[in-house]
């Protein structure tokens, strides 16, 4: 019997999966006040415990299916592991059941965009594609729907990879690594080890040009992608042809850069990573072009909200770590005629914000800080124009007062949202609404 631990989105998908498979399980959540009536209605015979696991249960289950929101280092999890209980996650259950090729994407930033692009390109090429995981639907729900898929494209977080041991992928990638979730990991190396678990059993390992392969791979073929690299060392990169820059494979031009709807370094890197991930499949230049010339980006990821009084307002609420915000600043800073006004702050997750300073110094005329850890960020950015405020509403109003025609207001918090918002999505929606309200004044 299984113990399903953590009854959030992932845990509920595990319960649905076990019910469909007629597998017996117990359900547990550490939250004592969790409303479980909806669960009881769907699974009336399911035994549910809140707060603590009953002692009488300990001999009734052999395996824990752990929510990605619960760390394996939690004392009660450690104690159960010492008793010989196996600890897996929903991705491991998926790995044991899936019977078609899988493409897996992880990284500190850009993984949702690359996952979406990869799914779109494979669909254009005629494959029946399921996209899910850390983005959209849980993978176990995809296994249960009535469709027959040719390939699964899954986004994976480091938390999911911690409890995944037997996932075979046709192609997989770690797009990038920047300091994140340091409130959960002992150090950056532990975070990297969790991420690179995606390469444990893959046919093609897709890597940025500067990523070290030491101790990571067993048998995988390596595909490199990047912009600033010698072409002979890079499989997917930039090619000069007919006086234009192209995204290409070795010396073969595939898509002219000018054709991409989204310009900027990180958009080019995302496109190259997608092409490399599609390498084992029959996807041609026309399919890539069709996707890249029409893709306008995902919500809350450097999303253009409005232009008001000559000022562009950009929602990058998905910028939940320093690396994501640096990328957004560099990309928009290189494109903008004016200077940037950065809005940042929230829950810092014990990150080192010093790496934010060079990009801020180069591209930002002003930085407005809000939220719980604004003083920590401010200490790392000493010497630049900083304006601390209480909350996002005050930050938007101050930016509206100081922005001049040609400027870009970039909302990229570099932090988690949970001090003042339900999620990064809620935070982005609030920002967009505040900006739209400005135009009504």
| Sign, Cα dihedral of 180, 184, 188, 192 | negative
Catalytic residue list contains 181:
yes
Distance CA 318, CA 51 (A): 31
Which tokens belong to 441?
A: 């004044």
Q: How many CB atoms lie within 10 A of CB 124?
A: 18
- Per DSSP, 347 falls in state B
Its sign, for the CA torsion 152, 155, 158, 159, is: negative
Cβ 16 vs Cβ 37: under 8 Å: no
Catalytic residue selected from 111, 124, 266, 318: 111
Q: Give the strand order in the sheet containing 63-66.
A: 47-50, 25-29, 2-5, 63-66, 86-88
With CA atoms as reference, report the closest residue to 403 among 304, 328, 313.
313
Q: Which of 124, 181, 349, 374 is catalytic?
A: 181
Alpha helices in 74-211 (DSSP H): 75-82, 90-97, 111-124, 139-144, 158-162, 188-195
Q: Under a CB-based contact definition with an 8 Å cutoff, are residues 142 and 130 in contact? A: yes
Tell me how far apart the alpha carbons of residues 420 and 273 are, in angstroms, rounded to a whole number.
34
Annotated catalytic residue, options 134, 176, 315, 321: 134
Helix/strand/coil for 294: coil
Quick one: tokens of 348? 């810092």
Query: What is the secondary structure of 31-99 as a DSSP string?
Result: -TT---HHHHHH-TT-EEEESS--GGGTTT-SEEEE-TTS-TTSHHHHHHHHTT-EEE-HHHHHHHH--
Please, are residues 160 and 134 in contact by the beta-carbon 8 Å criterion? yes
Task: Show the CA angle centred on residue 421, arms to residues 416 and 427, nearest 5°.
Answer: 80
DSSP conformation class of 198 = G
**369-389 burial, b if ≥16 CB within 10 A, otherwise e?**
bbbebbebbbebbeeeebbbb
Active-site amino acid positions: 111, 134, 181
């Amino acid at each position: 019997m299984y113990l399903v631990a953590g009854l959030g989105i992932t845990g509920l998908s595990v319960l649905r999966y076990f019910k469909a498979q007629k597998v017996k399980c117990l359900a547990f959540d550490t939250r004592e006040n969790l409303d479980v009536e909806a669960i009881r209605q769907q699974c009336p015979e399911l035994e549910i415990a809140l707060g603590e696991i009953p002692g009488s249960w300990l001999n009734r289950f052999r395996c824990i299916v752990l929510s990605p929101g619960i760390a394996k280092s939690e004392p009660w999890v450690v104690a159960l592991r010492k008793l010989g209980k196996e600890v897996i996650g929903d991705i491991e259950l998926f790995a044991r059941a899936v019977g078609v090729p899988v493409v897996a994407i992880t990284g500190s930033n850009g993984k949702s965009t690359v996952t979406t692009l990869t799914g779109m390109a494979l669909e254009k090429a005629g494959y029946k594609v399921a996209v899910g995981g850390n983005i959209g639907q849980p993978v176990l729900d995809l296994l249960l729907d009535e469709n027959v898929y040719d390939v699964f494209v899954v986004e994976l977080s480091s938390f999911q990879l911690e409890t995944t041991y037997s996932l075979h992928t046709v192609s997989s990638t770690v797009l990038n690594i920047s300091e994140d979730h340091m409130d959960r990991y002992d150090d950056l190396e532990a975070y990297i080890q969790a991420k690179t678990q995606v390469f444990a059993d893959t046919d093609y390992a897709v890597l940025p040009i500067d990523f070290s392969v030491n101790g990571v791979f067993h048998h995988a073929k390596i595909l490199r992608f990047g912009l600033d690299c010698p072409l002979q060392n890079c499989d997917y990169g930039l090619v000069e042809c007919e006086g234009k820059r192209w995204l290409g494979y070795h010396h073969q031009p595939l898509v002219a850069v000018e054709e991409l709807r989204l310009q900027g370094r990180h958009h080019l890197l995302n496109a190259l990573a997608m092409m490399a991930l599609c390498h084992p499949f029959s996807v041609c230049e026309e399919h890539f072009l069709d996707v890249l010339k029409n893709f306008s980006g995902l919500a809350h990821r450097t999303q253009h909200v409005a232009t008001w009084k000559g000022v562009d307002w950009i929602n990058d609420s998905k910028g939940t770590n320093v690396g994501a915000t640096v990328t957004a600043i560099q990309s928009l800073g290189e494109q903008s005629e004016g200077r940037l006004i950065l809005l940042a702050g929230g829950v810092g997750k014990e990150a080192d914000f010093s790496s934010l300073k060079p990009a801020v110094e180069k591209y930002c005329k002003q930085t407005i800080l809000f939220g719980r850890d604004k003083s920590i960020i401010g200490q790392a950015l000493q010497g630049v124009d900083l304006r601390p405020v209480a909350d996002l509403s005050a930050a938007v109003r101050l930016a509206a007062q100081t922005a001049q025609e040609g400027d870009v207001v970039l909302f990229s918090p570099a932090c988690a949202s949970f001090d003042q918002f339900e999620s990064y999505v809620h935070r982005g929606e609030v920002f967009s609404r505040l900006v739209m309200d400005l135009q009504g004044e």
